[in-house]
Structure 1
Amino acid sequence: MPNRIIANRRLFNQGITGMKHETPEEAVRSLGAVQAQDYHQAVWGIGLRTQSAKVSDVEQALNDRKIVLTWPMRGTIFFVPSEDAKWMVKLTESRFQTHDKKKQAELELDEGTLHRCRTIIGNALSGCTTVSRPRLMELLEEAGISTKNGRGYYILGYLGRTGMICFGPHEGKHHSFVLLDEWVPNSRELTLEESLAELALRYFTGHGPATIQDFAWWVGLTLTEAKRGFEAVKSNLRLDFVNGTEYWSSVTAPAVSADTDSVVLLPGFDEYYLGYKDRSAIIETEHDAKIAPHRNGVFQPMMVAGGEVAGTWKREIKRSGIEITLCPFSPLGDQAEEFREAAKHYSDFMEMPIGRVES
């Protein structure tokens, strides 16, 4: 059964309930990093944790280089504080070497070809130039390097995971890319031990109560590596035993009531769900598969009531405004109106009128 005490403490520590952060970059920094496999969902994840934020505010923080979109952990995409992008990428880069060698062989990408890719893309982005994904694909094709069958996407991801490039501002409907060293010239440099400790403290502060296994999974580290970071900051953490399991959070985290009735519409891929290996505290086992029903790595936006995942939702943008469809796991009853208010909060963030909310 979901555990409401753990769930509601997580809601509070993640900035979903309680005091909101003043700026998008503060919201990102408080969590350590924000998962961003789906860009439009991720900006809402930042916005709902920020005071009176609009989508334009989050995108402006990206354009102003206060937050960066890159590949720091688990080989997937996150928003991170700009000054932390390099050391976060470096921390987990070596974890993908075996996988990369296998994938490169599968895609027939030898070291010579990858070196040419680095040169072509490096020259195109030099001088803090932003170039869209389609144009980078064209440049590779013009040089005789095929981008078909996933090769182009792999090349960009590989150069991102190894710290050469990161995402730049949006150009219309497309992502652009920049050189990380040029885009974030004044970044922090941390040793391996400092990196493990820093990330552990941020994780348990922004995600607690959580387990060491949760932390290891979130970062993509071995349990041994995760424990090294944990042990370095353990004196700053508080232990709670719940059903015989150790949960850790910041010693400065305030006690949170377990009887909150907060209602919120969370994005897909949100830290509240994907920030943990074990999600049993926030969702019934029988409903867990409904968050990623197609088993393709795509996680649905979630309805959350009192800390428990209570359904999924989807949006459709039309000329008249945003139409939202709620798909609760059980009848909403008295909470129907509260979810309508949550839908209005989302439409306000998107700076668009709400056309219809149905379930």
Structure 2
Amino acid sequence: MFNIIVLEMTYQEISHHRLVSQKLYKTTKSLPQEIVHHFGAMQAQDYAMAKWAIGSRCDAFEAAIEEAINSAQIIRTHILRPTWHFVSADDIYWMLDLSGPQVKRIILSDTKKYGYDEKQFDKINSNIEKMLSGNNYLTRDEIMQGLNIKKVSGEYVLSPVLIMMYAELDGLVCNGKMKGKKNTYTLLEERVTKPPTKLTKEEGLAKLAKRYFESHGPATLLDFSWWSGFPPTTCKTAINALELQLSSIDIEGQTYWFGNQIFHENYLRESVHFLPAFDEILISYKTREASILLEDQSKAFTNNGIFKPVILENGKVIGTWKRTIKKDHAKIETQFFNETESSKKEILFEGIKAFENYLEMKIVIE
């Protein structure tokens, strides 16, 4: 049986409780790698904004987060759906074992028409391993040159993105140290020591589900399915395997799961957050009405999955923002969804101070 927590929680309050589970209240001090470990995986295709996703949940400067990534305490790689994610070094291998085979099948179904099957990718990976062996760090373009991948009419026959994604999902490569402003790749096993034992698929799924609901709850089975990339039937099995390790509550006929922590009323306080594009507060749920009104969703994200940086007041998205880094300051531009928010800008802009501290740079609001 699952724990059924008896408390007063309405559908409208879900977003407040997610601020707690997603560590946006900063109730405890955390290192950047501890934030990533808490989430299991944090979406990270927009590298600059993804670092702020970590920074908005701890008191680390951007430079400290960059150092955690460069020193391989945090790994940036393709995993889950697939897309770029930050993953803790402690979690990288069991998560690759769990999701890698599934996502590789997706890639192979796309590349079959180009004549690339598993054997072809194994040959490519063997050559990549030779190039990177000995703690070498190379950009994607440098690797493509080394592979002598041919172009037709100026275009690669097979996307370099897919080539490197397959190598990541195979557990061969991960992000290396930044080379100026360019991302590099290096061998994962030279970056992070491989553990002596493996989890079974069932153990891995249960661990992933527990991590998701503790860091994202209250959330539904379909939310977990969307975030993890596994089908609902598989996700249901994972939830059932957790037994007393999760709690649940039914709201308006829908079951929401979360960790065994009790949500206290004093958590529900006034708050303003300026959050990055693709932040877990929105992107990690199948439906997002708990955090943003249906009529405002097209202003915050597109149908093809492009998410803007958002402004949250008390857990609800009330506008979007963008930042432009200048020589000696960062310029912030805002767009609120209605005049009510515009009229209280001074109060709302208190929420940008955390970003100013993180950048260690003056913020100018326009």
User: TM (normalized to structure 2)?
Assistant: 0.90
Corresponding residue to 2:133 among 101, 108, 126: 126
Amino acid at match of 1:198: K
Give the conservation status (yes or no) of the 8 Å contact 2:20–2:267: no
**Structure 2 counterparts to residues 23-102 of structure 1, below 5 A:** 23-50=31-58, 52-102=59-109
Match of 2:25 in 1: 17
Corresponding residue to 1:189 among 198, 202, 212: 198
2:182 is equivalent to residue 174 of structure 1: yes
Give the conservation status (yes or no) of the 8 Å contact 2:17–2:268: no
2:246 is equivalent to residue 246 of structure 1: no
Give the conservation status (yes or no) of the 8 Å contact 1:13–1:253: no
Deviations 1:82-110 (A, max 9, x none): 02111111211232344323321344435
When residues 57 and 97 of structure 1 are mapped into structure 2, their CA distance, relative to the original with a 3 A threshold, is: closer
Amino acid at match of 1:303: I
Give the conservation status (yes or no) of the 8 Å contact 1:93–1:162: yes
Percent identity between matched residues is: 33
Corresponding residue to 1:268 among 274, 277, 280: 277
Distance 1:268 1:68 in 2: 19
What is the number of equivalent residue pairs in this alignment? 353
Give the conservation status (yes or no) of the 8 Å contact 1:44–1:55: yes
Distance 2:299 2:330 in 1: 23
Distance 2:28 2:156 in 1: 44
Corresponding residue to 2:355 among 340, 343, 346: 346
After alignment, is 230-239 or 22-31 more displaced? 230-239
Give the superposition deviation at 1:213.
1.2
When residues 212 and 257 of structure 1 are mapped into structure 2, their CA distance, relative to the original with a 3 A threshold, is: farther
Corresponding residue to 1:302 among 310, 314, 317: 310
Corresponding residue to 2:12 among 4, 18, 26: 4
Distance 2:225 2:243 in 1: 15
Give the conservation status (yes or no) of the 8 Å contact 1:208–1:248: yes
After alignment, is 182-191 or 157-166 more displaced? 182-191
Give the conservation status (yes or no) of the 8 Å contact 2:275–2:309: yes
User: SS where residue 135 of structure 2 aligns?
Assistant: coil
Amino acid at match of 1:11: L
Give the superposition deviation at 1:149.
6.1
Distance 2:304 2:28 in 1: 33
2:173 is equivalent to residue 165 of structure 1: yes
Deviations 1:7-51 (A, max 9, x none): 00001111001414420011111111111111111110001111x
Match of 2:6 in 1: none
Distance 1:126 1:283 in 2: 47
Corresponding residue to 2:229 among 196, 211, 220: 220
User: SS where residue 326 of structure 1 aligns?
Assistant: strand
Deviations 1:122-167 (A, max 9, x none): 11111222212231122123x6577726621110111112221111
CA RMSD of aligned residues (A): 2.1
Give the conservation status (yes or no) of the 8 Å contact 2:209–2:235: yes
Distance 1:136 1:160 in 2: 14
Match of 1:279 in 2: 288
What runs of 5+ residues in structure 2 fail to find an aligned partner? 1-9
What runs of 5+ residues in structure 1 fail to find an aligned partner? none
Distance 1:344 1:106 in 2: 51
User: SS where residue 173 of structure 1 aligns?
Assistant: coil
Deviations 1:242-276 (A, max 9, x none): 11111111112432458532100011111110111
2:219 is equivalent to residue 205 of structure 1: no
Amino acid at match of 1:88: M
Amino acid at match of 2:185: F
Distance 1:11 1:140 in 2: 46
When residues 268 and 234 of structure 1 are mapped into structure 2, their CA distance, relative to the original with a 3 A threshold, is: farther
When residues 98 and 80 of structure 1 are mapped into structure 2, their CA distance, relative to the original with a 3 A threshold, is: closer
User: SS where residue 79 of structure 2 aligns?
Assistant: strand
